[in-house]
Structure formats: C-alpha cells, structure tokens
Amino acid sequence: MSMHVYGEIVTAPGIAANNRGENEGNITTLQKILWNDEVHTTVSAEAIRWAIRYYWQLCGLEVNRRWDEEKNDHVWADEKWTGWTKADGKTYIDDDVLGYMKAEGGKTEGEKGRADKRRGMLEVARAISTTPFVGDITFNAKSGTKGRTSLYGTEVHATRYQYGFAMTPERLRDRSRALLVLDAIASLGEVAGNQSRFLFDFSPESVVLRITDDPAPRLLYCFQQTPDGQISAPELVRRVNVGDILGAELFIGGPIAGDEAVKGIAGASLCEGVKNAVAAFKKEVAAKLGIAG
C-alpha cells in the first residue's frame, strides 16, 4: 500500500488585513466563509501554495516558475515542461510537487486544443480562522491631488489560522522532495495574495503530522481555540481513542504537545518545539522511503 503524509498546522496569533486587495466601496475586505454557523476569515490554498514555491526560490532551489520582483511577474525556466517527456529529463520541484497546466486552443477552426498538465502531488486545504470574525474595521485617510483626501477602511482580524495538507511521496518524480515540502511548511512567512500581502507569520505554532497507509487524513481542522485563547485538539484525541488514528503514526510539536489530553496519546512522538517535531518526522519519512534524511 502507498504511504501517505498528512499534517494540520495552526499559526500563532496575528492580525490579518488585506491592504489594496478586494474591496466593497471604500472598505478593503477579507475573504470570509461560514464555518460552524459563524463567519470566519479564510486564506486560500492557492496563496499558501504560492508561498511554498516562493520559499523554495528564496532558499536557492531551482523552480520553474520564479517570481521576479523587478518585473512583478513570474519568469519561466521551461515553459513547455520538456523534462517530463522522458524518464531521466530535468524536472523542477514546483512542477513535481504543485503540478502545472497550460491549455491552448486550436489554431484553426475545427482543430482540437491541447493541454500540458500534471496533477499536484501536494494538496493544501484552505486556511480558516480559529475565531469568528466580528467585523473589526480600521479607518484611514490618504492625501490626494489638489488637497483632496480619500477616506477608506480596512477589515482586520486578530486571530490564528489553521490548515492541513496531504501528499503521497511515492508519486513524486523525486521522492526526496517530500522532505523539502516539510521544510517549507515549517518555515512559511507571509501568506497572502499578490500585492495584498500583510505580515502574518504562517509558520506553525503547533503542528500535528501523520505518516500512514490510511488514504484518509482524519485530522483536518482538528484544532480548537478555547475562550481563554489556548489551543486544544479534542477531536484528534477522540479519533485516536476510538481507533480511527494510531497514536504511533503521529508526530506532534509546539504548545499543543503540552496539552494534558494530547500527552495521553499512547505512542505519539511529542516535541515542545515545532522544528524538532518536523525534524523527527522527516527522519521517519526518509526511513520509510529509503532515502537520505
């Protein structure tokens, strides 16, 4: 059976805003979703995937789709993905992990179009705030020409975000890239869309990682924030207790590892720090894949 890698991340508290992003009138808005019958703010999976690719670029890894700060656009290394046409061709980590697709219509009437595509091996869930959005807005003023002043508002949300991911390393062209995925997720900085970036640390405050042959993650959105601002994971503990998840499959890092209920999970690897938990998990993944960790 295939080996699957799953994870659920919760960030530290921060203040989300969407400067110069989508707006309603003169109010710059945050994306929202109805979650558990209340309005929560959300960050798209596409924005998280963008940040993962950019992290690899900043680390000096070769990526096919590189962000050029001067051009404010992406620059391709191999726009036709020629390395994928042969087994030993050169491929890039972002194409291998995140996939790609380029669709072209027929050049003449009646001619069928074509599409070059590869499904992404890394699946990322949309990030959702751990607390409901209560409608906080800051109001600002900007001086314009001829003494005119523009008034505008920005929605802000003081919260944490949680999101999950899944991948099957054996489906990668280069299985060692699974370890680089874990490095990126452990060290994400800013995550937001295009010009609308805000400084919100998206690195994990706490993380739950799972390695298993189970085709279902069973741990997505397992974190809850208590009224006093603490993070717990009662649904994760329940699923372990009823046998849906094996404790030995779990690597848990950050403050959540000190939760009394979590400490009672038999067989789980618990670490006070996120980096130590990810390092231990990478060794386990590398050992099961038979690659250097």
Q: Is residue 110 part of a domain?
A: no
Residue 189's pLDDT band (cuts 50, 70, 90): confident
Report the alpha-carbon distance of residue 164 to residue 194 in Å, rounded: 22
Measured from the Cβ of residue 18, the count of other Cβ atoms closer than 10 Å reads 22
Q: Is residue 239 part of a domain?
A: yes
Amino acid of residue 140: N
Render pLDDT for 165-188 as a digit per residue (tens, 0 to 9). Answer: 999 999 999 999 999 999 999 999
CATH number at 24 reads: 3.30.70
Q: Is residue 111 part of a domain?
A: no
Report the alpha-carbon distance of residue 256 to residue 9 in Å, rounded: 11
Cβ atoms of 19 and 196 within 8 Å: the answer is: yes
Report the alpha-carbon distance of residue 17 to residue 155 in Å, rounded: 6
What is the per-residue pLDDT for 85? 87
Q: Is residue 227 part of a domain?
A: yes
CA atoms within 13 A on the CB side of 72: 2
Q: Is residue 190 part of a domain?
A: yes
Q: Which two tokens stand for residue 150?
A: 């523009």
| Distance separating the N- and C-terminal Cα atoms of the chain | 22
Q: Is residue 73 part of a domain?
A: yes
Render pLDDT for 27-84 as a digit per residue (tens, 0 to 9). Answer: 778 899 999 999 999 999 999 999 999 999 999 999 999 999 888 889 999 988 999 9
Q: Which two tokens stand for residue 87?
A: 């087994």
Residue 1's pLDDT band (cuts 50, 70, 90): confident
Partnered with residue 170 across adjacent β-strands are none
Q: Is residue 109 part of a domain?
A: no
Residue range(s) defining the domain that contains residue 89: 4-104+116-289
Cβ atoms of 54 and 67 within 8 Å: the answer is: yes
Cβ atoms of 114 and 104 within 8 Å: the answer is: yes
- Record the pTM: 0.89
Q: Which of 64, 50, 293 has the alpha carbon at shortest distance from 183?
A: 293
Residue 149's pLDDT band (cuts 50, 70, 90): low
Pairing of strands 204-212, 4-11: antiparallel
Report the alpha-carbon distance of residue 184 to residue 233 in Å, rounded: 24
- Kind and range of the H or E run holding 240: helix 234-241
Q: Is residue 40 part of a domain?
A: yes
In angstroms, what CA-CA distances link 211 with 66, 192, 206, 244, 266? Answer: 31, 29, 17, 14, 16
Cβ atoms of 196 and 50 within 8 Å: the answer is: no
Angle at 158 between CA 156 and CA 164, to 5 degrees: 105
Render pLDDT for 207-221 as a digit per residue (tens, 0 to 9). Answer: 999 999 999 999 999
Torsion of CA 46, 51, 55, 61, to 10 degrees: 30
pLDDT greater at residue 91 or residue 112:
91
What total of structural domains would you count in the chain? 1
